[in-house]
Structure 1
Amino acid sequence: MLRGLRLLPLLALLLVAGSVWAAGPGQTLVLKQEQVFQVTLAANHTTGYKWMLAKVPDPKVVKLVTNNYVPDSAEGPDGKLRMGVGGHEVWTFQAMGPGRAMIVLNYVRPWEKDKKPAKSRSLEVEVR
């Protein structure tokens, strides 16, 4: 029961969370203070790739709450399990105080330090 009570604040945040699936170049997400939002990106951890913050946003403006990998169903249409199934990474952030911040996420294999990211996504956030 105590464990459930500890999760209550996070669940409350997620209930009011907005979701950002894709932002085009030059777009800015405008938020109010304390507003929670999610960035959801396709991923496949079975390949070794994962999304990583390339640029940590200003914590006075935006803070990272959590990030999780959610695998797609591994069951195929025939009912058999499929190998190498992908999923999504869900990054949850909270707007803290007024200002602008840039969130930059790169799709990389963490051990390949000298390689360019396979993909990169950025989102500008303005908190009013």
Structure 2
Amino acid sequence: MLYARLIPVLGLSLLAACAQQPAHNVTVEEQSDCPQQLHVGQHLIVSLPSNPTTGYRWAIQDSAGGVLRSLGPEVYTSSDNGQLLGSGGLSTWRFQVFAPGSGRLRLTSQQPWEPEAEPAQVFDCAITVN
């Protein structure tokens, strides 16, 4: 009988706890999505327009290593499912927020064989973790 009374109370407690949790995944697709306010345990997904056939590649210059941990390498997906040679797509990185603090996630798009040249594009996002 005691268990029958505890089940509704535990259920409501779990529901309340879930309602207070921040969204697990946060997706950033443009510079205007920054700065980002995150919480420990969330995943940050960064997706930027990319076209490796032009020779330009995104590279991480600053990974906000004190607050973000990479969940793997860049993943490139073609916007047309590979049907049109040379078409653009998206480069995506996934990070886990693991510690409170702040940092910068900075990526640059440039041709790897010209490291001294100015980047064609820069993505610079301030990250704050509570």
* TM-score, normalisation: structure 2: 0.74
Kindly, what percent of the aligned residue pairs are identical? Answer: 26
Q: CA RMSD in A?
A: 2.0
Partner of 1:5: none
Which position in structure 2 is the counterpart of 1:87? 89
CA contact (8 A) 2:66 2:103 kept: no
**8 Å contact kept, 1:74–1:85:** no
Stretch moving more, 62-71 or 111-120: 62-71
Gaps spanning 5+ residues in structure 2: where? 1-23
* 1:19 counterpart (18, 27, 52): 27
SS at match of 1:38: strand
Q: How many residues align?
A: 107
Higher helix share: 2
Q: What secondary structure does 2:32 align onto? A: coil
2:68 to 45, 62, 87: 62
| C-alpha distance in 2 between matches for 1:64 and 1:111 | 25
Cα deviation, residue 82, structure 1? 2.6
Indicate the residue corresponding to 1:72 in structure 2: 79
Tell me which residue corresponds to 1:35: 42
Aligned to 1:7: none
Tell me, yes or no, if the aligned pair for 2:50 and 2:88 is still in contact at 8 Å: yes
> Which runs of at least 4 in structure 1 moved beyond 2 Å after TM superposition?
none
CA apart distance, 1:24 = 2.5
**Aligned CA distance change for structure 1 residues 72 and 100 (closer, same or farther; 3 Å):** same
